[in-house]
């Protein structure tokens, strides 16, 4: 009940104008709730994007290093064979 009272006391700004949640119609309150949920989802997706992007960079670096090491090892083997 207390949470509902707190939500009723909230206000929001739309197109530069302030509105009280408690003065909105039930339909408008539902739309405000939808918008709040969407904003939360956007923030969560942004957080996940940062994580996934960082992981992608990490694995790209690992692959690059692995290929460089592999190329370096092959180069050393070729030099040993030509010296023989």
H or E stretch covering 76: helix 26-83
Highest mean pLDDT among 5-9, 40-44, 77-81: 40-44
Label residue 77 by pLDDT band (50, 70, 90).
confident
- Residue 5: band (very low, low, confident or very high) from pLDDT cuts 50, 70, 90: low
* Region 10-30 average pLDDT: 96
Structure-token pair, residue 26: 């039930």
Backbone angles phi, psi at 50, to 5 degrees: -60, -45
């Amino acid at each position: 009940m207390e949470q509902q009272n707190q939500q009723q006391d909230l206000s929001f700004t739309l197109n530069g104008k302030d509105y009280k949640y408690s003065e909105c119609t039930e339909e408008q309150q539902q739309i405000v709730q939808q918008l709040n949920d969407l904003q939360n989802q956007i923030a969560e997706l942004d957080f996940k994007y940062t994580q996934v992007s960082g992981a992608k960079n990490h694995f790209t670096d690992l692959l690059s290093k692995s290929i460089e090491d592999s190329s370096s090892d092959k180069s050393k083997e070729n030099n040993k064979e030509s010296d023989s």
